[in-house]
Structure 1
Amino acid sequence: MLTKLEIIDQILHLLHKTSIYDPEYESVATLPFEEWYIGDLSPVVRVGEQDCELAMYERGVKMLSKRTKDPDEVVFWILEDTIHTIAHLKLLQKYKVDNVTTHLKYTKDEIQEMKDMINESFLQIGGQYEEWHKAGKRKELESSNPGRNAGKCTERS
């Protein structure tokens, strides 16, 4: 069984394998596990004694609530969101825009550049997480009951 801290450690370990890793972005991966966090359309993970709840809120209203006993699904879900967020932030930095007063144009080239960063990151991580990324497992996790229930998530420290 994995604890919340063990899941977070695994996520950070996998992120270290990628070329987009920067310690500045570690909070993107750890924030979803904070008890008070209900990010807008961002993954939220509640680790319980028997399983983990994967949740998502929009304007404070819970829009998704799935349960899984497979910590690998939790790791993958957070990796997907974290890597997407970091890739987007890196594009903002590269093009010197803040998406408040200045904006990315989201041209075909910019979108491809972001996709390339994301795909390269999962290639560097490899294994089942790369396979799940290619297979679109995030969509499955966010739209249907998770099918696998291998290990267990637990709140213990």
Structure 2
Amino acid sequence: MMLTKQEMIDRVLHLLHKTSIYDHGYERMVTQPFEEDYIGDLNPVVRVGERNYEVAMYERGVQMLSKRTKDADEVIFWILEDTVHTMAHLKLLQKYKVDNVTTHLKYTKDKVREMTDMINESFLQIGGKYEEWHKAGKRKELENPNSG
């Protein structure tokens, strides 16, 4: 059964609420990929068709990825991966009081590990198949233009 954009958004938000790093300020990260004319730079774009979903990604306005899937959970997972990674990165910037515009974070092994730990902890809190897929590296499979 196909889910609507809103049903997928609601599911992603429900799952993110289980994590300790989510706050309402991040809701736009979840809704934006589903907007009709949205073309983010290296961010997920989701289009809901009659029989399948298209997941796409653009870099500087050029489409770099276009895949079709009938599995709403794959789409939900992809949005979760992107959002959790972004939230963890933003938490790190806040913690070290940098904005990566005028002040920059030095990505030491410890800081990268700290971010990875936040991401893994979030997927542990989300649980289920999404945690399993995260551990298995399914995001790389979804973002590989040659798979699927």
Match of 1:155 in 2: none
- Alignment gaps of 5+ in structure 2: none
Any stretches of 5+ residues in structure 1 without a counterpart? Answer: 147-157
Residue 4 of structure 1 corresponds to 5
Aligned residues: 146
Deviates more, 1:58-67 or 1:137-146: 137-146
Q: Following superposition of structure 1 onto structure 2, how do residues 74-113 of structure 1 map, counting pairs within 5 Å?
A: 74-113=75-114
Amino acid aligned to 1:20: I
After TM superposition, the score normalised by the length of structure 2 is 0.97
Give distance in 2, aligned partners of 1:132 and 1:121. Answer: 13
> Which residue number corresponds to residue 123 of structure 1?
124
Please list the CA deviations of residues 41-74 of structure 1 after superposition, one character each: whole Å capped at 9, or x if unmatched. 1111011111110000000000000000000000
Secondary structure at 1:66 match in 2: strand
Q: Which residue number in structure 2 is paired with residue 35 of structure 1?
A: 36
Q: Which residue of 2 aligns with 1:154?
A: none
Structure 1 consecutive aligned stretches of length 4 or more whose deviation exceeds 3 Å: none
* Relative contact order higher in (CA < 8 Å, ≥ 6 apart): 1
C-alpha separation in 1, matches of 2:96 and 2:75: 32
Q: In structure 1, the residue corresponding to 2:78 is in which secondary structure? A: helix
Q: In 2, are the aligned partners of 1:41 and 1:56 still within 8 Å (CA)? A: yes
CA distance in 2, matches of 1:113, 1:31: 27
Identity of aligned residues (%): 79
- 1:138-157 equivalences in 2 (<5 Å): 138-143=139-144, 144-146=146-148
- Hey, what does 2:115 align to over in structure 1? 114
Distance 2:88 2:29 in 1: 12
Contact 1:67 1:145 in 2 (8 A): no
Question: 1:125 and 1:95 mapped to 2: Cα distance?
Answer: 26
- Partner amino acid, structure 2, of 1:91: L
Q: CA RMSD in A?
A: 0.7
